[in-house]
Amino acid sequence: MFIQRVSDSESGDGKPVLDTFGEVQQVWHPWRRRYDLFLRESESRILSVASDVQPEPPTSTYAQRAKVDSGFLAWDFRLYNDQGEEVAFISRSFRGFGREIFTDTGKYSITFGPSQSDINTRSSNRALSGSLSIDERALYLALAVNIDFDYFSRHSHSGSSVFFPFSNWD
């Protein structure tokens, strides 16, 4: 999934121009939930009109910023940088069996910086959230939306919940 923002400029016919600045890639694994997150590194902009087909930028344009590797039934997703430090934490709250079975709602929280449990286990209490750029924060938010769509939404063709794999209700 490419992450785009509306550019300040418009095309000749008044349509908004989108600037691609990041990418979330789901990495297939038979039982783990894995993602790689990339941000555009070069200053050259990748612009496209919203109604046009999105151009595929060269892979050298992006640099990997984070990686997710969570278990089979995980509801907590830790994002690690290339040094193995936790840079963000995404958690989906359990809201009760009734809501999980019969609705498609979810409550997510995103912690920019290490999770509280990670802070307690480390000796240095270094806060990373101040060093995250707005693009990195937008990328991590896009990952939360992607996780919801891939694993917890009825549109992901796995039923309404991980614990109750009903057939597709659409």
What is residue 141's predicted lDDT score, i.e. its pLDDT?
92
Q: Name residues whose C-beta falls within 8 Å of residue 170's C-beta, 6 or more positions apart in sequence.
A: 154, 155
55 contacts 63 by C-beta, under 8 angstroms: no
Kindly tell me if the per-residue pLDDT of 153 is higher than 60.
yes
CA distance 140 to 138: 5
48 vs 23, more confident: 23
Rounded to the nearest 5°, which phi and psi values hold at 150?
A: -70, -40
What's the CA gap between 156 and 162, in Å, rounded?
Answer: 11
pLDDT in tens, 84-130: 999 999 998 877 777 667 766 778 889 998 876 655 555 444 554 45
Query: Which residues, 6 or more positions from 100, have their beta carbon under 8 angstroms from its beta carbon?
Result: 94, 160, 161, 163, 164
Query: Comparing C-alpha atoms, which of 10, 21, 15, 24 is closest to residue 57?
Result: 21
Give residue 2's pLDDT band: very low, low, confident or very high (50, 70, 90): low
